């Protein structure tokens, strides 16, 4: 076989074409955003299907002849498509999702499924999470095909319809259609940039476990006047137990994660000052963020565990009575630090919660069955040098290596199934996006830079990866 024809990548005309292609790409994005493809609501299942069918049809028109909205039993559709016409060249897979979070109970300035531009931002549910992400790739593909009649590498697209409900069937899709996921590098485009000026490359996620903690002491509720001070109050015991996990600042006491000193020093450059935290976290003006105690805020947010009480059976106002209760339960959401083994964190918590029960109450613990999905990645090698070059061209600087405090099931899954490939996690979300909230929006210049970066990224990856 002949060696593949090396491509000369003069990217200048392509970058100009990418800039010119942005208005049409935004129009395409707006058409998709008008479909309320809300995956958690069965009433919108047909909207998810209709959008998937529309995207597949548009991809066939674009030149992805095999584009298809695939649908496994009991699942919402997943669009797959490939352009494999450059023998010997590497194959890059782009992942995005087309489903949306619901908007019920939210107050929007303009209707969530009627996209509207105001002050340099496009407002609509899904504008940045995640339709803007993968539409920026469709735009880049269109630019390459229009300008050169070809792509510099082979490309696959996977546009999922169930990300917002935790990707419950994505692994089934991987197993049923492995050829649709065969690639030399993956671009997972559903993540955040630290600011509209600083692009982000996500390299870690905290995992999520759930712990149910139950204290019981009595066979029945009893009069607190007759018996208070003589037998245990399970509500107080529960609060004392939970507070054992937390230090005076309000953070998890142990286990703490050991973070490399070089990482810690670099993390001071992450733009997460008190003002950014206060605005992002909706802090009251008279309340400060937790003290950083010599560690950068990014470490507390991305690289250390956290605990939140997400439910309790403590007495509520409408159930108020002068009684000692039989039992009390709390559900804790536990964020697992990347690099920390779930089993180590569980063992540390259990040791703390089982020793010497407060007031001698009976203590039961139950962990969620699923692994936490914490993820820590080392972005090394030529693929990431290619990423840095592409981003420098589009943004004027390489992407900052960032983490996410939350967990993203599909990332943990790709990490488990394809962890030996370069996994490039980027996106078009910025701190003002309010993904999953009211007035979700996409910064238009971030979108423009994403289109340009993608155009350059395909060429840069084609140069450094082996097909
Ligand atoms: Zn998303």
Please provide the DSSP assignment of 309-328 as one string. EEEE-SPPGGG--SEE-SEE
The DSSP secondary structure of 265-319, one letter per residue, reads: HHHTTSS--HHHHHHHTT--TT-PPPP-TTS-HHIIIIIS-EEEEEEE-SPPGGG
Residue 10 pLDDT:
85
The H helix count followed by the E strand count for the chain is 13, 18
252-306 pLDDT, tens digit each: 998 999 999 999 999 998 999 999 899 888 899 999 999 999 999 999 999 999 9
What is the Å distance from ligand 1's center to 415 Cα?
17
User: Is residue 11 over pLDDT 90?
Assistant: yes
Residue 349 pLDDT:
98
What is the Å distance from ligand 1's center to 277 Cα?
21
Confidence class for position 4, pLDDT limits 50, 70, 90: very low
Beta bridge partners of 331: 212, 311
What is the Å distance from ligand 1's center to 381 Cα?
27
What is the Å distance from ligand 1's center to 97 Cα?
7
What is the Å distance from ligand 1's center to 432 Cα?
15
What is the Å distance from ligand 1's center to 166 Cα?
10
Cα-to-chain-centroid distance, residue 465: 26
User: Is residue 117 over pLDDT 50?
Assistant: yes
What is the Å distance from ligand 1's center to 66 Cα?
25
What is the Å distance from ligand 1's center to 407 Cα?
11
What is the Å distance from ligand 1's center to 242 Cα?
32
Residue 8 pLDDT:
59
CB–CB of 182/91 below 8 Å?
Answer: yes
Q: What stretch(es) of the chain map to CATH 3.30.70.360? A: 207-276+294-367
What is the Å distance from ligand 1's center to 127 Cα?
10
Residues at Cβ < 5 Å from ligand 1 ion: 129-130, 190
As a whole number, mean pLDDT of residues 46-71 equals 98
Q: What is the chain's mean pLDDT, rounded? A: 95
What is the Å distance from ligand 1's center to 151 Cα?
26
What is the Å distance from ligand 1's center to 207 Cα?
16
User: Is residue 6 over pLDDT 90?
Assistant: no
Enter the CATH code of domain 207-276+294-367: 3.30.70.360
CB–CB of 204/312 below 8 Å?
Answer: no
Residues near 70 by Cβ (< 8 Å), separated by ≥ 6? 77, 78, 79, 80, 173, 176, 177, 180
User: Is residue 38 over pLDDT 80?
Assistant: yes
Q: Does domain 12-204+374-464 have CATH number 3.40.630.10?
A: yes
Residue 279 pLDDT:
86
User: Is residue 113 over pLDDT 80?
Assistant: yes
Give the gyration radius of the chain's Cα atoms.
25
What is the Å distance from ligand 1's center to 129 Cα?
4
Residue 2 pLDDT:
45
Q: What stretch(es) of the chain map to CATH 3.40.630.10? A: 12-204+374-464
């Amino acid at each position: 076989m002949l060696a593949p024809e090396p491509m000369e990548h003069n990217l200048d005309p392509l970058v100009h074409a990418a800039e010119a292609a942005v208005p049409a790409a935004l129009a395409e994005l707006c058409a998709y955003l008008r479909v309320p493809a809300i995956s958690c609501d069965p009433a919108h299942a047909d909207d998810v299907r209709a959008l998937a069918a529309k995207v597949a049809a548009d991809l066939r028109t674009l030149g992805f002849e095999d584009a298809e909205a695939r649908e496994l039993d009991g699942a919402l559709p997943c669009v797959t498509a490939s352009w494999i016409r450059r023998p010997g060249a590497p194959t890059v897979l782009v992942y995005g999702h087309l489903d949306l979070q619901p908007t019920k109970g939210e107050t929007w300035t303009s209707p969530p499924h009627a996209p509207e531009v105001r002050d340099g931002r496009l407002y609509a549910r899904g504008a940045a999470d995640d339709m803007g992400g993968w539409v920026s790739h469709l735009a880049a593909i269109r630019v390459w095909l229009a300008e050169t009649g070809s792509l510099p590498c082979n490309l696959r697209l996977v546009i999922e319809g169930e990300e917002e409900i935790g990707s419950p069937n994505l692994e089934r899709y991987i197993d049923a259609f492995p050829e649709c996921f065969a690639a030399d590098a993956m671009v997972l485009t559903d993540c955040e940039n630290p600011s509209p000026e600083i692009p982000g490359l996500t390299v870690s996620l905290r995992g999520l476990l759930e712990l149910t903690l139950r204290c019981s002491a009595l066979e029945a509720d009893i009069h607190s006047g007759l018996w208070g001070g003589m037998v245990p109050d399970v509500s107080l015991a529960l609060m004392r137990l939970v507070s054992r996990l937390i230090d005076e600042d309000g953070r998890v006491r142990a286990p703490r994660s050991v973070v490399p000193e070089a990482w810690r020093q670099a993390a001071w450059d992450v733009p997460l000052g008190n003002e950014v935290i206060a605005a992002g976290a909706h802090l009251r003006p008279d309340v400060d963020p937790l003290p950083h105690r010599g560690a950068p805020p990014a470490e507390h947010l991305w690289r250390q565990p956290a605990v939140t009480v997400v439910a309790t059976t403590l007495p509520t106002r409408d159930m108020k009575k002068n009684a000692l209760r039989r039992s009390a339960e709390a559900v804790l959401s536990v964020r697992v630090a990347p690099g920390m083994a779930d089993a180590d964190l569980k063992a540390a918590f259990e040791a703390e919660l089982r020793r010497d029960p407060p007031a001698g109450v009976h203590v039961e613990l139950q962990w969620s069955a699923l692994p936490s999905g914490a993820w820590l990645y080392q972005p090394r090698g030529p693929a990431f040098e290619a990423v840095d070059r592409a981003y420098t061209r589009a943004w004027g600087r390489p992407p900052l290596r960032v983490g996410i405090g939350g967990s993203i099931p599909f990332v943990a899954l790709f990490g488990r199934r394809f962890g030996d490939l370069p996994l490039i996690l980027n996106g078009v979300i910025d701190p003002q996006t309010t993904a999953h909230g009211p007035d979700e929006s996409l910064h238009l210049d971030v979108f423009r830079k994403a289109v340009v970066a993608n155009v350059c990224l395909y060429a840069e990856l084609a140069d450094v990866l082996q097909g």
